């Protein structure tokens, strides 16, 4: 048993290596995670200096002679180091993404499995609720939920988690529907295993692959949506360095020539979304048995 699992993961790595874009995506994600974990060691300055150093406001970065040496990417409108805020922002964005997707997974897997496994009216009720939630555009629904819960990063994570739950529930339900018809499940039923045992020991482990793929892809959109909520002023509250909020606070300076305060957070959002999408696509290629050559 142990040996086969090892060869399976070895096989995964081998297949991943051949997928160039997935490796690239993985590299970005790893760098991002490292930035997030070690932000307090890498960042040249505090992301929220107190008291503030307003006199450094909108100073350019390394490309200009007027720049401040210890702020390579320049300063924002309140004289804070853009690079340091982006690094700490990685922590905020990744945490937000993981927590939101985590919430979506817990809720989605619970409801999806119950609906798929038990079928009948349970399935009908759960899936109709899911349909209703699908009828709303994701971001709009998130805004409504944040409005009800109140502003703040924690509320934004919960809102995005709830919004992504239906997708997760649908994915897991379709896997469960397929797996529960398998012979080994019938065998379990025949020998009198409890539903809980069947679900946790057999159904879930076998339907987890698509969840991982879609979870990765969802992470990208969750980070994006979190930034969008931050941009609208509904997500992270000041002084938390959040990419979307940084962007919205600084875009008006682009006209005045101070492009760096908005551009670099934008690039950070772009890179992380690209990285996670490439990785997610790569994982799908590898994990989806139908795509196996």
Partner 1 sequence: MKSKLFLVLLLTVGLVFSLVSAASAENILVFGSSGDASRLDPGDVTDGESIQRMDNIFEGLVEYEAGSVLIKPCLATSWEASADGTEIVFNLRKGVKFHDGTDFNADAVVFSFARQYDSNHPYNQYGEWAYWGYMFGDVDKMEKIDDYTVKLVLKRPNASIMTSLAMFTVNIVSPTNAEKYKEDAFKHPCGTGPFKFVEWVKDDHITLEANENYWRERAKLDKLIFKVIPDPSARLMALEVGEVQGIEYPNPADFERIKANKDLVLMSQPGMNIGYMAMNTGYGYIDENKNGVRDLDSEPLVKTPGYFEPLTKKKVRQAINMAIDKQSIVDNIYMGTAIKAKNGMPPFMLGYNDEIEDYPYDPAKAKQLLTEAGYPDGFEVTLYVMPVSRPYMFDPPKIGEAIQSYLAAVGITVKFYQVDWGTYLQETEAGNHQMCLLGWTGDNGDPDNFMNVLYGANACSIGAAGNYAFYTNNTVQELLSAALATYDEEKRATYYKKAQEMIHEDAGWVYLAHSTQNIVFRTNVKGYVLNPTSRKFFYPVWIE
Contact footprint for partner 1 (CB under 8 A): 48-52, 54-55, 57-58, 77-79, 151, 233, 237-239, 249, 252-258
Q: Tell the smallest beta-carbon distance from residue 79 to partner 1 (Å).
A: 7
When the beta carbons of 135 and 255 are compared against partner 1, the nearer one is 255
When the beta carbons of 48 and 110 are compared against partner 1, the nearer one is 48
Separation between Cα atoms, residue 195 and residue 188, nearest integer Å: 9
Q: Tell the smallest beta-carbon distance from residue 53 to partner 1 (Å).
A: 9
Q: Tell the smallest beta-carbon distance from residue 280 to partner 1 (Å).
A: 35
Q: Tell the smallest beta-carbon distance from residue 258 to partner 1 (Å).
A: 7
When the beta carbons of 7 and 252 are compared against partner 1, the nearer one is 252
Q: DSSP string covering 80-142, please?
A: -BHHHHHHHHHHHHHHHHHHHHHHHHHHHHHHHHHHHHH-HHHHHHHHHHHHHHHTS-HHHHH
When the beta carbons of 148 and 196 are compared against partner 1, the nearer one is 148
Q: Tell the smallest beta-carbon distance from residue 138 to partner 1 (Å).
A: 23
Instruction: Give the number of C-alpha atoms closer than 13 A to the C-alpha of residue 85, restricted to the C-beta side.
Output: 31
Measured between alpha carbons, how far is residue 262 from residues 105, 215, 239, 247, 293 in Å?
Answer: 33, 29, 16, 5, 44
When the beta carbons of 77 and 102 are compared against partner 1, the nearer one is 77
Instruction: Give the number of C-alpha atoms closer than 13 A to the C-alpha of residue 291, restricted to the C-beta side.
Output: 10
């Amino acid at each position: 048993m142990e040996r086969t699992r090892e060869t399976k993961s070895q096989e995964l790595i081998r297949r991943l290596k051949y997928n160039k874009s997935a490796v690239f995506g993985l590299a970005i994600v790893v760098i991002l995670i490292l930035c997030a974990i070690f932000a307090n060691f890498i960042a040249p300055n505090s992301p929220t200096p107190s008291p503030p150093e307003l006199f450094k406001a909108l100073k350019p970065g390394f490309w200009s002679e007027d720049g401040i040496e210890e702020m390579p990417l320049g300063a924002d409108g309140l004289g804070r180091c853009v690079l340091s805020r982006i690094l700490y922002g990685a922590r905020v964005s990744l945490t937000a993404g993981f927590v939101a997707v985590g919430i979506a997974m817990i809720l989605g897997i619970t409801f999806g499995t119950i609906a798929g496994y038990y079928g009948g009216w349970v399935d009908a009720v759960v899936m109709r609720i899911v349909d209703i939630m699908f009828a709303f555009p994701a971001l709009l629904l998130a805004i409504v939920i944040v409005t009800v819960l109140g502003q703040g990063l924690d509320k934004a994570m919960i809102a995005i988690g709830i919004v992504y739950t239906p997708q997760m529930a649908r994915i897991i339900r379709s896997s469960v529907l397929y797996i529960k018809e398998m012979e080994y499940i019938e065998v379990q039923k025949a020998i009198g295993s409890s539903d809980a045992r069947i679900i946790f020991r057999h159904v879930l482990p076998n339907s987890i692959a698509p969840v991982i793929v879609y979870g990765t892809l969802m992470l990208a959109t969750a980070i994006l949506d979190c930034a969008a909520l931050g941009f609208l002023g509904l997500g992270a509250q000041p002084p938390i360095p959040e990419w979307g909020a940084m962007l919205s606070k600084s875009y008006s300076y682009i006209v005045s020539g101070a492009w760096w305060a908005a551009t670099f957070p934008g690039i950070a959002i772009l890179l992380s979304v690209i990285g996670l999408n490439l990785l997610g696509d790569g994982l799908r290629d590898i994990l989806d048995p139908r795509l196996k050559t």
